[in-house]
Copies of this chain bind each other. A is one copy, B any other.
C-alpha cells in the first residue's frame, strides 16, 4: 500500500519504519523539509533528530505535507493531537478526499503536568472533528489506546488484549484492520465500536491509560475486553 504518515515524532517514525519493513511504500509528511532535516538536537521529549533516524530508514521518504498526502492511499495522522487539525490542513482536503485517514492521535494537554487532560472530550472528540473537517475522507480512529511500541508490536504485552476501531466507512475499517493484522493484532483482538463517535470512548480512556502508566512505570500494558458468551 502507499501510505503517508503525518508527523515526524516518535510515533510517526515508529509507524512509518514498521510499515516500511512490512513492504509498504511509505512517506512521511512534514511542514518544512529543510527545517526537519536541519535539527541536530534531541528534543525535550527525548526524541533524537529526524536526520539521524532517516539515515537508518532510507526507504522512507520525507515529503511536504501536501506531497505526502497526495502519495498516500492511506494517510496516518500521527501528529501531536493539538496540532493534528493544523497538520491536516497543510495536507489539504483535496489530497485527503476519498482516502482512508487513520487517526491515532490523542488531544493531550500536558501544560498542567502528568497525567494529561484532554483538549477535546465528552461531547466531542478529535476523531469526530477530523471527520467533520474532511467529510470526503474516510476517518478511522484506532491504535490510540496503546503506546506506539505496542501499536506496532502487540506481543510486547502478554496474553490476549484488545484494540478498537471506530469509523463511518466499513471498507475503511477493513483496510485499517488489515494493517492491524500485519502489525500482529489477531482478528479476535479487534473490537469495532461502530461509527466515528466511538472515538470519544477511546480518547477519553486516555486518562485511565496514563493513570495506569503512573501506577506501573511502563507503557507495555493494555486492556483485554472480556465478556460472557
Which chain A residues in 33-47 approach chain B with CB under 8 Å? none
Question: Does A117 reach chain B (CB closer than 8 Å)?
Answer: yes
Chain A residues numbered 200-229 whose CB sits less than 8 Å from any CB in chain B: 200-202, 204-212, 214-216, 218, 220-229
Cβ of B204 and Cβ of A207 under 8 Å apart?
Answer: yes
B156, B157, B200, B211: which contacts A207 (Cβ < 8 A)? B200
Minimal beta-carbon separation of A194 from chain B (angstroms): 6
The answer, yes or no, to whether A118 is at the interface (CB within 8 Å) is: yes
Q: List 25 A-B contacts (CB under 8 A).
A: A112-B123, A115-B201, A121-B122, A121-B204, A122-B122, A156-B228, A157-B226, A157-B227, A157-B228, A158-B229, A159-B226, A162-B223, A164-B208, A193-B215, A194-B211, A198-B211, A200-B207, A201-B210, A202-B208, A204-B205, A204-B206, A205-B207, A221-B227, A222-B225, A222-B226
Closest 8 A-B residue pairs measured CB to CB? A221-B227, A201-B208, A220-B228, A201-B211, A223-B223, A204-B204, A201-B207, A224-B224
